[in-house]
Amino acid sequence: MPSPRMRRARELVQERQLRTDLKEQLVSNRPDIHVLNARELTGVWVNIQKSKNVSEEDIAATFRELTEFSLDMVRDHTGTVSSAIVLSKLGADMHRSGSIFGTYKVIQKEGKHFIVLSGYAGLRKHLNAPVYGLSNPKVVRMGVGISAANAALKSGAALTLVLSPTIRTLEWLFVDQKKTLESVLAHIATDIVKGFVAAGAAYFIGGMLPAVASMAGFAITAVIPVGVGIAVAIAAGFALNELDERYQITEKLTEALVDCRKDWVIATEKVSRDLHYYFDTPQGNLEFIRRFMGAGGGYGY
Amino acid sequence: MATSQVASDGLNPKGALVGGLGFAALALILVAVSIWFVSLIHGDYGEALESRDPIFLEKTGYTLFYFAPLVFTGLLIFGLACMAVGIRGKPYPKAISDRLNRTVGSLVLVGLLGMFAGSWVANKMWAEVFRSHGYNECPGSFTITSKWFSTVWVDQPDLCHDENVLTMFREGEQVSTINRFVLEQHP
């Protein structure tokens, strides 16, 4: 029977293995979007041909056959027209041969042509090959699953944080100037609370679904936690709105803020009146001195 | 579609049972809430049209819930499947997991798309119903009610600009109170 130390070591090895497997699975399930120019795509295409053990001469010949340009010309210099031709011809060839597993599209930005392609591990192997020194291959790295859901929900909550104060303030300043500042503040406060509670509910569901799925031994499609999260956020938002309407929470908050302002005004007025009495009137001066000396007393004594 | 992959060693029947139960209960509550929202607007609109209220609020956001039960049914199925694993104590084969993903994924996608598309269509249809009953939509409803996803409908267009009505909305009065006031002013 293995000793506890041996058992612990074995568990650690298993844990490390599991972590490595999980990391590999996450990486293999992550689609990347790449943007390449004609020279870079040519480099990737040549690399793929080389990996198939095609000779340099055959590669050059096939390239000329496909694009009607020489390989050296494209590597050294490509004009606008030649770039577009090279990108579309090579893109079509790579897609046909299965080198691009996802989608590809040729776009024009600021007079330059690029190919935008997305793919999984197979394509990434060629694109990450250090021999080509791609200048800017990866523009967007898309995470699919809980991280994307979390990012979306965070941005949703942040949107509430920005949108509500902006719209409420603009409405107050330019549309309904008779509305009180307290009402604007109360609406902003309840909007933000509702937004955060709804986003929190969705965040919770988005996180719990994959966790429970893994406990049950199910693989879960990325769209499920994201979609359910969105629906739950909507339901939570409207349920909170309904509660707000039923129990008049925003209106009560407005009233509380108004009362608070009135109390503050009364308190500051009293302080101002006292200051005026003690320091601006002869009777008040005497009273202050009497109190200061510990004789006690009040107004009018 | 990208899916998470799990090792069978990660199986936790008790966790799956509790989690599944939680999701199934939550799904049932959410389905009930969706039905309640839909019945709420139908009841409110029916009552307003029948009693010829001078003013009523259309809750345009609540029409999202016509299709929402589809999404929550997906969640319910998922919860029940997790509960089944919890009761069985062993996982289902991959084919079942794939079928579950396809079913729940389709329900969620169709439900979510249906929520937005259905809401747009339903709002158009409700607007037609209100117009056919002689009501007019107030421009800038948000500035009148300070509520998101609300549209003010009135039987007399002047009411949209009536300073007393606007003040009552601003002070957070209930629509029923505003209606009583309007009926007292213009019997």
A 42-71 residues with CB below 8 A of B?
Answer: none
Cα(B81)–Cα(B24) distance, integer angstroms: 9
The answer to whether the Cβ–Cβ distance between B85 and A220 falls below 8 Å is no
Inter-chain residue contact B101 with A219, CB threshold 8 Å? yes
Contacts of A141 in chain B (CB under 8 A): none
Cβ proximity of B26 and B131 under 8 Å:
no
pLDDT at B129: 92
Percentage of the residues of chain B whose pLDDT score is greater than 70: 94
- The minimal CB distance from B4 to the residues A220, A230, A254 is found for A220
Task: For chain B, give the number of residues.
Answer: 187
H helix runs in B3-93, sequence order: 13-50, 68-88
For residue B166, is it within any domain?
Answer: yes
b/e sequence A202-215, b meaning 16+ C-beta within 10 Å: bbebbbbbbebbbb
- CB neighbour class for B141 (10 Å; exposed up to 12, middle 13-18, buried from 19): buried
Q: CA torsion, points A35, A37, A39, A40, in degrees to nearest 10?
A: -10
A208 interaction partners in chain B (CB closer than 8 Å): 19, 22-23
Domain membership of residue B124 (yes or no) is yes
3-state secondary structure at position B56: strand
C-beta atoms of B30 and A215 within 8 A: no
- Specify the residue for token string 């421009």: B139
What mean pLDDT do residues A54-76 have?
A: 81
Q: Which residue of A has its CA nearest to B96?
A: A218
| Dist CA B4 CA B94 (whole Å) | 12
- Quick one: DSSP state of residue B60? G
Nearest to A116 by CA among A188, A36, A179, A49: A36
Count of domains in chain B? 1
Show which of residues 13-72 on chain B sit within 8 Å of chain A, judged by CB atoms. 13, 15-16, 19-20, 22-23, 26, 30, 33-34, 37, 40, 61-62, 64-65, 68, 71-72
Percentage of residues in chain A with pLDDT exceeding 70? 65
pLDDT computed for residue A153 by the predictor: 59
| Residue among A171, A212, A238 minimizing CB distance to B19 | A212
H helix or E strand, kind and range, residue A65 = helix A56-67
Model pLDDT, residue A159: 64
Query: Whole-angstrom Cα distance, residue B92 to residue B90?
Result: 7
A34 near A116, Cβ under 8 Å?
A: yes
Q: Is B8's pLDDT higher than 60?
A: no
Q: Of B153, B140, B172, which is closest to residue B59 (Cα–Cα)?
A: B153
Looking at residue A142, its pLDDT comes to 38
Q: Is B118 within the bounds of a domain?
A: yes
The secondary structure element, H or E, covering residue A35 is: strand A32-36
pLDDT, residue B66, reads 93
**For residue A145, what pLDDT is reported?**
42
> DSSP characters for B127-147?
HHHHHHTT-EEPS-HHHHH--
Structural domain contains residue B1? no
Q: Which tens digits make up the pLDDT trace of A155-210?
A: 666 666 666 666 666 666 666 656 677 777 888 888 888 888 888 888 888 888 88
Contact, A36 vs A44, CB < 8 A?
yes
For residue B177, give how far its alpha carbon lies from the nearest alpha carbon of chain A (Å).
14
The residue ranges of DSSP E strands in chain A, in sequence order, are 32-36, 104-109, 112-119, 138-141
Spatial CA neighbour of A244 closest among A163, A186, A204: A186
pTM: 0.58
Q: How far is B184 from chain A (nearest CA, A)?
A: 25
- For residue B56, being part of any structural domain is answered with yes
The ipTM assigned to this model is: 0.85
A138 pLDDT band, cuts 50/70/90, is very low
Mean pLDDT computed over every residue of chain B = 87
* Three-point CA angle A68, A72, A78, nearest 5°: 70
**Residue in B6, B13, B86 closest to A219 by CB:** B6
In a domain, B4, yes or no: no
Rg, chain B, Cα only: 23
**Which residue do the tokens 């080198």 mark?**
A99
Going by C-beta distance under 8 Å and a sequence separation of 6 or more, which residues neighbour residue A158? none
pLDDT at B153: 92
What 3 state SS string does B107-127 have?
A: HHHHHHHHHHHHHHHHHHHHH
- Measure CB to CB from residue A228 to each of B3, B75, B98 and give the nearest one: B75
| Contact yes or no for B108 and A21 at CB 8 A | no
Q: Which pLDDT belongs to residue A140?
A: 36
Residue B106 lies in a domain: yes
CB contact under 8 A, B101 and A224: yes
Q: Distance from B133 to chain A by nearest Cα, in Å?
A: 26
User: Taking CB atoms and an 8 Å cutoff, what residues of chain A touch B1?
Assistant: 221-223
Phi, psi of A117 (to 5 degrees): -135, 150
Q: Are B20 and B81 in contact (CB under 8 A)?
A: yes
Task: Please tell me the distance from the alpha carbon of residue A293 to that of residue A4, in angstroms, as a whole number.
Answer: 81
Per the CB < 8 Å rule, is B111 touching A231?
Answer: yes
Is B22 within 8 Å of A204 (Cβ atoms)? Answer: no
Considering only the beta carbons, identify the residue of B7, B16, B170 that sits closest to A216: B16
Residue B75 has pLDDT above 90, yes or no: yes
Residue numbers of the domain that contains B23: 13-185
Q: How far does the CA of residue A178 sit from the closest CA of chain B (Å)?
A: 8
Spatial contact of A206 and A151, defined as CB atoms under 8 Å apart: no
Residue-wise pLDDT for A35-46, tens only, equals 677 887 888 888
**d(C-alpha B149, C-alpha A207), whole Å:** 29
Nearest to A231 among B5, B23, B72 (CB): B72
